[in-house]
Structure 1
Amino acid sequence: MTETILAALERYYDTVPRVGGARGEDFGPLTLFVQEGDGWAYYARPTPGGSGATAADVRKVLERQRELKVPESFEWVAESSPSLRAAVEAAGLHVHAHPLMVLDATAEPLPPHPEVRLIGADDPLLRAAVTVPALAFAAPGTAPGEAGPAALARALEDPQTRARRDRVAAMLREGRTGMAAAVRDGVVLCSGQYNPVGDVAEVVGVGTLPAARRQGLALAVTAALVAQARQRGARTVFLSAGDEDVRPGPRRGRRRAGRRRYGWWPVRAPGRGGGGR
């Protein structure tokens, strides 16, 4: 891992909440991002150039998060803030480490998958595309599961899916995100997004309907997202996997897609499980 990549990631993590409509509240060595209005509930993270945070600093942020009734979430890159894990754990919190991977700039792109296409703001399948990851993440892991097209159809009846669709449509129109989906017989089986800030882009929310797992769809969607991000000027493309099971492995996507695992990204996970992004 190079200092250049670390610096790029730090700039990205400090900027993406701001362009997403959040305000930064200053807690010295930590910054808490608070969403204004509807949108993603962001995290607290190290202030760029700040000194090492202590357990007391973490507790102050926790008090504010509880006051605001927002997720008690802290996110950081381990190599950039090596002492923060100890401070977070000393404050009584659990840390969950996510494998963090960056795309190898020399890797040859994968050929386009015939079932994968880019999704625009006016695509009639956008509502399904923003709903599929929620069904995927509700059944963690890589093993095939029960949730399939019928479960997706039921989920689309929830009025909240329209609100999610509208938020993502606005982001697509503004160029703040890109989306791709694997579609078979008119049904979205897998989808994901990438969020660009300057010349850095993060691939996020790639999820496959449990019934359609282990068909290479997530890898194909990721490849499509990477291709568009690069076409739009991204020089650094990265992602964080939920855990070791779902990260692209050395005999699967990681070598074929040209990704290399270069570090760990610790994320505070609430006691009920989950956390992270």
Structure 2
Amino acid sequence: MATIAELQSYQRKAAARTRITVACPPFYLYIHPTDNFRFLNYAIPDAPVERLGRDDLARLRVAFARQGRLMRFEFIHEYTPQLRGLLEGLGVPAESEAPLLVCTQETWREAAGPAGLEILRLTADSPETYLAAQITVSSRGFGGDGREVNAERIADLRRRLRLGSGHYLALLGGIPVGVGAYTVPVDGFSELVAIATLPAYRRRGIAGALTATIARDLLAAEVRTILLTAADDAASRVYQRAGFGRAGTALAFCEG
């Protein structure tokens, strides 16, 4: 089983593959090159943080502002257990607390979806209609009204696919109903992200089937450890059916 330090290290390495990195000790900022969407931009500690003062926070705030981004942090609580209290003490609002799960070759399990479910693995050469559907379903699946699909967002999706991330589209009766993705595999690690199903198609096993399919593909490609952050305990039970188990706690803090 991978250690917490190895899991946090992988998240830093994977973010650096597709984002601009900005050093601001004891953190690195990971900035999406074109998109200011809050969940795509954040800082991760480069080592366990035991002290953080107002001057440190001011430097971080300036570093984010120079990139035109909100100040936001993502980290594994067990890796740096004092950081949560430090950020709270400095008045940085907590954004989320979620179960961090892990799957390996030994724990993976098949999870069947509904009859007629088709799961497509997208590539940089996939038709624009599929790439556009992936962007739209992802937005609506996470409670948005469908992010605007434009040439820039499609080009960015193709860019990330070429860099080694993976994106999947689930169709039911030919209708796009779910999406999922994984981050660039590094040193035998990868992370499942953005698993989402349209509200009208939930509770049919689509998310579980997507999770199992993506994890199976990664394990077949010699990934040894797959991370996944569940939205909450209820969502984590869906992923447990595909062989994921609790490894830690993912925290996010965001100002603004």
Relative distance call for 1:108 and 1:19 in structure 2 (3 A) is closer
Unaligned runs of 5+ in 1: 140-150, 272-277
**2:232 & 2:255 partners in 1: Cα distance?**
16
Amino acid in the other structure paired with 1:23: T
Aligned to 1:33: 30
Partner of 2:171: 183
| Post-superposition offset of 1:242 | 2.3
Within 2, Cα distance between the matches of 1:193 and 1:78? Answer: 24
- Report how far residue 16 of structure 1 moved: 2.0
1:146 is aligned to none
Do structure 1's residue 192 and structure 2's residue 184 form an aligned pair? no
- Unmatched tracts of structure 2, length 5 or more: none
| Aligned counterparts of 2:255 and 2:210: Cα–Cα separation in 1 | 29
Equivalent-residue separation in structure 1 for 2:41 and 2:51 (angstroms): 19
Aligned residues: 246
Pair 1:39–1:17, CA change in 2 (3 A)? farther
Q: Is the 8 A contact 1:21 1:36 kept in 2?
A: yes
Q: How does 1:1-277 map to 2 (within 5 A)?
A: 4-27=2-25, 29-37=26-34, 41-48=40-47, 51-56=49-54, 57-95=56-94, 96-110=96-110, 113=113, 114-124=117-127, 125-138=130-143, 155=146, 158-160=148-150, 162-174=151-163, 176-198=164-186, 199-245=188-234, 247-249=235-237, 252-254=238-240, 256-270=241-255
* Cα distance in 1 between the residues matched to 2:166 and 2:125: 13
TM-score, normalised on structure 2? 0.85
Cross-structure match for 1:145: none
Equivalent position SS for 2:182? strand
Q: Structure 1 residues 67-76 or 114-123, which shifts more?
A: 114-123
In the superposition, the TM-score normalised over structure 1's length comes to 0.79
TM superposition shift of 1:61: 0.8
Larger fraction in strand? 2
- Could you say what the CA RMSD is over the residues aligned between the two structures, in angstroms? 2.4
Decide whether the 8 Å contact of 2:111 with 2:242 is kept in 1: no
Q: Percent identity?
A: 25
